[in-house]
């Protein structure tokens, strides 16, 4: 089933990292770095997928899915990710929160007319 925007996660359990943020003014470097981080995360062992949205007012949420807490820690400690987080604190974000949760169950739906 193609869920489009929704990450195609496996049967639980797995973990979710919820990154909620308020971004300051628009910055082309931010957009480039965010895309690069998503591509880099996608190549990490244990990465299962992600979903991300941002409103025009700068509020955004990215949820990334991982197969283990160890995989999350490896990503957290990745050198390029560390540098991006530092730049985020010093230049891009007004505020953010990171929450890690364990997914115990899931329910997914796609209408019969959904794109494949």
Between CA 50 and CA 104 the distance in angstroms is 17
The predicted pLDDT at position 114 comes to 56
All structural domains of the chain with their residue ranges: 22-103
pLDDT by residue (tens digit) across 81-104?
Answer: 999 999 999 999 999 999 999 999
pLDDT > 50? residue 52: yes
**Average confidence score pLDDT of the chain:** 92
**pTM for this prediction:** 0.89
Percent of the chain with pLDDT over 70: 94
Q: Using the structure block, give the residue that is written with the tokens 């880099």.
A: 40
- The answer to whether 16 and 104 are in contact (CB under 8 A) is no
Render pLDDT for 27-44 as a digit per residue (tens, 0 to 9). Answer: 899 999 999 999 999 999
Is cis: bond before 13, omega within 30 of 0? yes
Res. 110 pLDDT band, cuts 50 70 90: confident
Structural domain 22-103, CATH architecture: 2-Layer Sandwich (3.30)
């Amino acid at each position: 089933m193609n869920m489009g925007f929704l990450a195609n996660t496996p049967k639980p359990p797995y973990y979710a990292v919820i990154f909620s943020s308020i971004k300051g003014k628009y910055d082309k470097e931010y957009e480039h770095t965010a895309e690069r981080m998503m591509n880099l995360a996608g190549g990490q062992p244990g990465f299962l997928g992600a979903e991300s949205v941002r409103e025009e007012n700068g509020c955004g949420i990215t949820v990334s899915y991982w197969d283990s807490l160890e995989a999350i820690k490896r990503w957290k400690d990745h050198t390029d990710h560390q540098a991006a987080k530092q730049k985020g604190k010093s230049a891009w974000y007004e505020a953010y929160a990171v929450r890690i949760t364990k997914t115990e169950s899931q329910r997914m739906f796609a209408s019969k007319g959904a794109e494949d």
